[in-house]
Structure 1
Amino acid sequence: MVTIQTVRSNNAALKDLGPGLVAVFVGGTSGIGLSTARAFVKNTTAPRVYLVGRNQEEATKITQEFDKINPESKTTFVKADLSLLRNVDKACSEIQAREPKVNLLFMTAGYFTTKGREETAEGLDRKFSLHYYARWRFAQNLLPQLTAAGTSTPLSRVVSVLDPNIRTGLVLDDLSLKTHFTLGNCAAHACAFNDFAVETMAAANPNTAFVHAFPGLVNTGLARTFGPVLRVGVGILMTVLKPFMVPLPESGERHLYAATSQTYPPKAKAGEGAALGSDGVKGSGAYWLSWNGERMENERLKGYRAQALGKTVWAHTQEVFDKIRGTEGGKY
């Protein structure tokens, strides 16, 4: 376990990286994304922060808060419904017009639902799109900026927060879950696809590190969006689970560590202190991490890796992107 003292020591030293670090927080106006952005602003010199989300009112409050935490910081809100890839592309274009380099892409976009499949205008399930397709469209779009940072600065990293562990098998003949959607299948596919994306992107981009991180149990305030009955039930559950939960501020600190520590370097910059990557190779550039910074393993994923399923999933991902964004009004 990475101690909180180690985490805080790493974060406090981020000022040594120099001024002007650029970070993009996808889903950064609440929960873990916001907590991590707050820690980033607090611990860096003259950072430029992009918060991508839907809540303009909340973003205005956050910007004012960040200005007080670090008067040298600059926070920009990019408003977008990220369940649609066309909106992801628009948000990325807005960032790219301002920034030649991006040091950190931190992604927590998602939402809780008890409903079944909710198909978007682009033919994807809304939850699945937010947890996987939209995130990696962001990463793919911003690769030029991430690569520029990786070749000229000490930090270039992509972090997707979900869960590297999968607990059920995948539906291999329906990867997008068009006809086999359940919440369980959606969770398994989104988690596994993030795992594969981290490994695929790290192999192709040796100057950028890629992390898939599990946050543990964190009270992100999600219950405020529920109805009164469910909100009471969740409140009781949170009280029972409190001794086992990671406080939200600590979660932000720990995720900032995962996003910046040289323990998880890009493949091209792996040193003696590098952690084992997801494939068991030291400093591979792809990392599956638990809430406490330790490496996560997944026996089921090992079997899928042996089948080269990562290549199949990435080819599927590109097919989805091409069909939706290849033509105006495209649909998968």
Structure 2
Amino acid sequence: MATIQGFTPTEDGHDQKLQLHVYSRFLLASLLAPTLSRSSDGRCLSVLSAGVHSSYSGHSTDPSLKASYSVPNAANAAGMYNDIYLEKLASLHPGVAFSHAAPGFVNTNWGTEMPLVLRAFIRPLQAAFGASKEKCGAAMVEGMIKAEKGKLNLIDQKGGTGKAKTCKGHEEGKEGIWKHLSEAIKPFV
């Protein structure tokens, strides 16, 4: 989902972008983690923005972005929150390899929700410079296969692990963000 709309509440009261990019992924990963733990080779991959997002500075005062919503804040919060919940799930389920990947610029239909003027700029760039969906998918799978169990694995656009770093504020935000996410999905578990 790539839009430039402002805070758009879902029926649950969460922002539409965060619902898709964070809360739904966290819910699904949390529900699947016990089953993945029983597998000899359990793996979980979230593809968004590993190692390429900045910190969302309002994580402790406005974790849902209701008062400080902007497109950059939503993007940074989504990336930061994915890193944090995946790292926590890895510590709770050490037999599972949890990964967060940054696919880079990919030639997909990303951005079709944007205004025409932005689409007219983005779509030709994707066609000319974006990796194919197949190449991107192969790199993400390669990174997921190399991922280590019991820790957060950040995967770059070429399938590499170990180079990407978590953002500033990651350590300080862990406890509060985990609590916020857990509260957000409580009605569904």
The normalised TM-score by structure 2 is 0.87
Name the counterpart of 2:54.
167
Deviates more, 1:160-169 or 1:286-295: 160-169
Secondary structure at the aligned position of 2:122 is classed as: helix
Relative to structure 1, is the Cα distance of residues 116 and 225 closer, same or farther in structure 2, using a 3 angstrom cutoff? closer
**Which of 221, 224, 233 pairs up with 2:109?**
221
Higher RCO (CA < 8 A, seq sep 6+): 2
How many percent of aligned residue pairs carry the same amino acid? 26
Gaps of 5+ in 2: none
Q: 1:163 to 1:174 in 2, by over 3 A?
A: same
In the aligned structure 1, how far is the partner of 2:177 from the partner of 2:115?
Answer: 36
Q: Report the CA distance shift for 1:316/1:290 in structure 2 as closer, same or farther (over 3 A).
A: same
Q: Which runs of 4+ in 1 moved over 6 A?
A: none
Q: Look up the SS of the partner of 1:142 in the other structure.
A: helix
Q: Does 1:252 align with 2:140?
A: no
| Residue number among 23, 26, 30 corresponding to 1:136 in the alignment | 26
Rounded to whole Å, the distance in 2 between the matches of 1:299 and 1:158 is 18
* Residues matched between the structures, number: 186
2:125 alignment partner, SS class = helix
User: Letter of the aligned partner of 1:195 in structure 2?
Assistant: D
Shift of 1:234: 2.4
* Structure with greater Cα Rg: 1
Letter in 1 for 2:42: S
Normalised by the size of structure 1, how large is the TM-score? 0.52
Does residue 181 of structure 2 align to residue 314 of structure 1?
Answer: no
One-letter amino acid of the structure 2 residue matched with residue 246 of structure 1: A
Q: Which amino acid aligns with 2:170?
A: Y
Q: Counterparts in 2 of 1:1-332, with a 5 A limit?
A: 111-149=1-39, 153=40, 155-164=41-50, 165-171=52-58, 172-224=60-112, 229-239=117-127, 242=129, 245-259=130-144, 261=145, 263-267=146-150, 285-294=151-160, 295-298=162-165, 300-301=167-168, 303-305=169-171, 307=172, 309-322=173-186, 324-325=187-188
Aligned partner of residue 61 in structure 2, secondary structure? coil
RMSD: 2.1
**Distance across 2 between alignment mates of 1:219 and 1:211:** 22
Q: Which runs of 5+ in 1 are unaligned?
A: 1-110, 268-284, 327-332
Q: Is the 8 Å Cα contact of residues 154 and 164 (structure 2) preserved in structure 1?
A: yes
CA distance in 2, matches of 1:117, 1:224: 19
Show the counterpart of 1:38.
Answer: none
